[in-house]
Amino acid sequence: MTWLVTGGAGYIGSHVVKALVDTGDDALTPVVVDDLSSGHAEFVPAGVELVNASILDLGTMIDTLKRHEVTGVIHLAGFKYAGVSVERPLHTYAQNVQGTATLLEAMGETGVDRMVFSSSAATFGTPDVDLVTETTPTSPESPYGESKLIGEWLLRDVAKARPGFTHTSLRYFNVVGSGGEGLYDSSPHNLFPLIFRALAEGRTPRINGDDYATPDGTCVRDYVHVSDLAHSHVVAARRLAQGDQLEAVYNLGSGDGVSVRQIMDAVREVTGIDFTPEVGPRRPGDPARIVATGELARRDLDWAMRHSLSDMVASAWASAPKG
């Protein structure tokens, strides 16, 4: 028996795979499907099979589910760049909506009836509350956010149509840090890689706006360590495998949030590189604060913030490419 991890060669997916392997539970043995469009084959641990394929390939998905006697799926594959999705909406919908639909079809054909879905805080858009909960209205502002919300709807509707199908969706915000040697965030758009790249190239990191209505004037966001996130994916998978009923959606949030300037200060302290960040104008559409509670996930998925901001920065810096 195995669990299929789609996108398991990516930054978050590889940490989920590692967490599954680390359980030592044969019932949670991972198999990875990844088309390597943004993932890295070397992120997949030795001994874990990597199927180099797109989740849009129905035949390969059916074959993989059958051949490996898959009992559940942790679905992380997708096009994850919210800003770019505005310029490439059709690609985003093909990868994230049609891809999820194809995967669900393959699961139906093979009798696989459990899914943990990687959703996103982008489903909320720009919430007008200080603390986002699972009941905060969704109002996505990009094709990416819309595609993730549709993914949640697909799971909901399949569960209505297919008795026995169980699922949960995990919405997360800003995932950072590293939980393994050589595992790093290679996104060209995320804050930590942008800061590290600037430092490696001798440039000064940049803050976009310091006149927000926050304690230090810079945007406040929810930053969570990737290993903490991976742990709750494994707990969700195990609970579904045990036949437990979970909520349809969970936020994996800190409840507090960290400002961009606090991150810059932590990077300066951890790396020993003295710099004063440049301050540019605000980016259009950036809200002052987005922070979520993680109370439901703490209750059901053993969710906890086990890593400090310094831990997040130090582990990310140690694993980041320096060349």
Whole-angstrom distance, CA of residue 292 vs CA of residue 190: 19
pLDDT exceeds cutoff 90 at 281: yes
Cα–Cα distances in angstroms (integers) from residue 152 to residues 73, 93, 173, 225, in the given order: 14, 14, 16, 23
Contact residues for 243 (Cβ-Cβ < 8 A; gap 6+) = 166
Q: Which of 11, 81, 144, 223 is catalytic?
A: 144
Q: Which fold has domain 2-175+223-252?
A: Rossmann fold (3.40.50)
Interhelix angle 226-241/11-23, nearest 10 degrees: 60
**Domain extent listing, the chain:** 2-175+223-252, 177-221+254-293+300-319
pLDDT at 284 over 80: no
β-pairing, 258-259 vs 220-221, is antiparallel
Catalytic annotation present for 144:
yes
Which is nearest to 29 in space by CA: 61, 56, 5, 60?
5
In this structure, of 47-56, 121-130, 260-269, the range with the lowest mean pLDDT score is 121-130
Distance CA(103)–CA(181), nearest Å, equals: 31
141-164: average pLDDT: 96
End-to-end C-alpha distance for the chain, whole angstroms: 41
Average pLDDT, the chain: 95
Determine the pLDDT at residue 83: 84
Tell whether the model's pLDDT for residue 323 goes beyond 70: no
Question: What is the rounded average pLDDT of the residues 295-307?
Answer: 97
Q: Which residues contact 215 (CB under 8 A, 6 or more apart)?
A: 259
Whole-model pTM: value is 0.96
DSSP letter assigned to residue 228? H
C-alpha span between 316 and 193 (Å, rounded) = 9
CATH code 1.10.8.80 for 177-221+254-293+300-319: no
- Residue range 225-235: average pLDDT? 98
